[in-house]
């Protein structure tokens, strides 16, 4: 939903069935490594985020790749602090 794509659109891009995408979303299915990588390219995030292991900073101009979880959290805290001061 964040990327304004329907299950059918994602399925078409990945060349799989919409019911498979639905299964991924409900947790009834687990994507293969190949599909997981394709999803990470499509959504411009890393696989850890897709697997629920990392917080995604939603800002296309910030690349958090290579940072530790603590560093990402520190940046997130800084952004929150800046927002509170506005």
What pLDDT shows up at residue 84?
A: 83
CA distance 85 to 82: 5
| 24 Cα distance to chain centroid | 13
Nearest to 44 by CA among 28, 19, 66, 61: 61
Tokens of 16: 């799989």
Note the pTM of the prediction, 2 decimals.
0.59
**Could you list the mean pLDDT of each consecutive 10-residue stretch along the chain, which spans 86 residues?**
86 94 91 92 86 64 76 84 79
């Amino acid at each position: 939903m964040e990327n304004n794509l329907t299950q059918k659109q994602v399925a078409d891009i990945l060349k799989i069935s919409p019911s498979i995408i639905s299964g991924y979303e409900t947790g009834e299915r687990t994507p293969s490594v190949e599909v997981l990588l394709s999803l990470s390219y499509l959504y411009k995030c890393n696989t850890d985020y897709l697997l629920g292991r990392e917080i995604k900073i939603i800002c296309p101009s910030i690349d958090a790749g290579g940072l530790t979880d603590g560093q990402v959290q520190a940046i997130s805290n800084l952004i929150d602090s800046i927002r509170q001061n506005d």
